[in-house]
């Protein structure tokens, strides 16, 4: 069911619960409860020195009073509903293709949202803002995509992720849409990039993986060579130089299910 319908139903369910009390809670489906929680979040937003505070969440009593420091925290609250929305799309066939003109707008959004909604679980707000503005920059990505020609994963007509593979085997930017996170998008992109690299006779692949991306690349056979400390405008971030040998390796291709 589209997210718009969830939000519409959230208002209906919120009114019913307000009218008829807690006995309705057990019969309200979880996605609706998550949507109602979002409605209540907007209605009961409070600002303090610690951030935005959620209060009075009768449908999610254990979550009452949690502190939302960023949009990423709000995304975590909404995740059950968003997972339900994208479930049907994720079951569609995934197509991986080369970047096409016009893809840059979706790629710009994925880059920004992946940092502020996924990487923010491992990096501070200051680090995420040094990494990416909160607003996407389509103009920048239009120019970059024309040069890099990334691979894009498409599910249900939506771009779910992208990966840039340089001729020397370097994986540059590689991000998945938060709504398709942990659904095998990046796994498929890495597998595809490996096949392309092997067919081109590349002897190795390497990547500077973020803290959150490191486990996936390790499952794909990449090995940490060293820890890096990257300076972005005076703000330091940790990432990992990881390498995968291709030509001459006798071991079988590892599985990297995510």
61 and 98 share one domain: no
133 and 15 share one domain: no
Pairing of strands 204-209, 170-176: parallel
Q: Pick from 56, 71, 89: which residue ends a domain?
A: 89
**79 confidence band (pLDDT: 50, 70, 90):** low
Which two tokens mark 97? 């293709």
141 and 84 share one domain: no
Q: State the Cα–Cα distance between residues 177 and 173, nearest whole angstrom.
A: 13
Determine phi and psi for 135, rounding to 5 degrees.
-95, 135
- Which is higher by pLDDT, 50 or 186? 186
Q: State the Cα–Cα distance between residues 221 and 194, nearest whole angstrom.
A: 11
Which of 84-93, 107-116, 137-146 is predicted with the least confidence, judged by mean pLDDT?
Answer: 84-93
Average pLDDT score, the chain: 77
118 and 107 share one domain: yes
pLDDT for 137 equals: 96
Within a domain: residue 251? Answer: no
**77 confidence band (pLDDT: 50, 70, 90):** low
- Which is higher by pLDDT, 239 or 86? 239
Within a domain: residue 96? Answer: yes
pLDDT for 247 equals: 72
Domain extent at residue 18: 3-89
111 and 80 share one domain: no
Within a domain: residue 53? Answer: yes
Model confidence at 17: pLDDT above 80: no
Within a domain: residue 75? Answer: yes
Count of the separate structural domains present in the chain: 2
Q: State the Cα–Cα distance between residues 185 and 227, nearest whole angstrom.
A: 25
Q: State the Cα–Cα distance between residues 157 and 85, nearest whole angstrom.
A: 14
226 and 118 share one domain: yes
Query: What share of the chain in percent tops pLDDT 70?
Result: 60
109 and 207 share one domain: yes
pLDDT for 78 equals: 57
pLDDT for 91 equals: 54
CB 214 within 8 A of CB 240: yes
Q: Pick from 89, 121, 141: which residue ends a domain?
A: 89
pLDDT 10s digits, 143-152: 999 999 999 9
76 and 97 share one domain: no
Q: Number of C-alpha atoms within 13 angstroms, CB side, residue 117?
A: 23
H helical segments located in 44-161: 71-90, 104-117, 125-131, 138-148
pTM of the model: 0.65
pLDDT 10s digits, 115-165: 999 999 999 999 999 999 999 999 999 999 999 999 999 999 999 999 999
Within a domain: residue 258? Answer: no
DSSP one-letter string for 148-205: H--EEEEETTEEEEEEEE-TTSEEEEEEE-GGGTTTTHHHHHHHHHHHHHHHTT--EE
202 and 108 share one domain: yes
55 and 39 share one domain: yes
- Which is higher by pLDDT, 28 or 189? 189
Dihedral sign for Cα 210, 215, 220, 223, please: positive
**182 confidence band (pLDDT: 50, 70, 90):** confident
136 and 240 share one domain: yes
Within a domain: residue 158? Answer: yes
128 and 66 share one domain: no
Q: 164: domain CATH number? A: 3.40.630.30
Within a domain: residue 197? Answer: yes
Q: State the Cα–Cα distance between residues 205 and 170, nearest whole angstrom.
A: 6
Q: State the Cα–Cα distance between residues 58 and 66, nearest whole angstrom.
A: 13
Q: Pick from 89, 115, 147: which residue ends a domain?
A: 89
Within a domain: residue 201? Answer: yes
């Amino acid at each position: 069911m589209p997210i718009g319908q969830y939000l519409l139903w959230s208002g209906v369910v919120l009114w019913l619960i307000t009218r008829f009390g807690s006995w309705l809670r057990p019969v309200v489906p979880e996605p609706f409860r998550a949507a109602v929680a979002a409605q209540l979040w907007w209605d009961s937003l409070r600002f303090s020195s610690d951030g935005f505070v959620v209060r009075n969440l009768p449908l999610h009593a254990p979550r009452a009073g949690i502190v939302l420091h960023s949009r990423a925290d709000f995304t975590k609250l909404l995740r059950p509903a968003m997972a339900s929305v994208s479930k049907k799309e994720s079951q569609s066939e995934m197509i991986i293709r080369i970047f096409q003109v016009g893809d840059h707008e979706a790629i710009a959004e994925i880059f920004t949202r992946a940092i502020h909604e996924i990487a923010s679980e491992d990096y501070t707000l200051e680090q995420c803002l040094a990494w990416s503005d909160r607003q996407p920059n389509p103009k920048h990505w239009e120019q970059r995509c024309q040069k890099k020609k990334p691979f894009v994963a498409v599910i249900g007509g939506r771009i779910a992720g992208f990966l840039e593979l340089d001729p020397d085997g370097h994986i540059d930017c590689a991000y998945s849409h938060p709504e398709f996170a942990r659904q095998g998008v990046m796994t498929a992109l890495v597998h595809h990039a490996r096949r392309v690299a092997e067919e081109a006779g590349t002897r190795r692949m390497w990547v500077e993986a973020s803290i959150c991306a490191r486990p996936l690349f390790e499952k794909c056979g990449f090995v940490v060579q060293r820890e890096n400390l990257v300076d972005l405008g005076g703000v330091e971030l940790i990432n990992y130089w990881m390498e995968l040998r291709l030509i001459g390796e006798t071991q079988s291709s590892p599985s990297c299910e995510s």
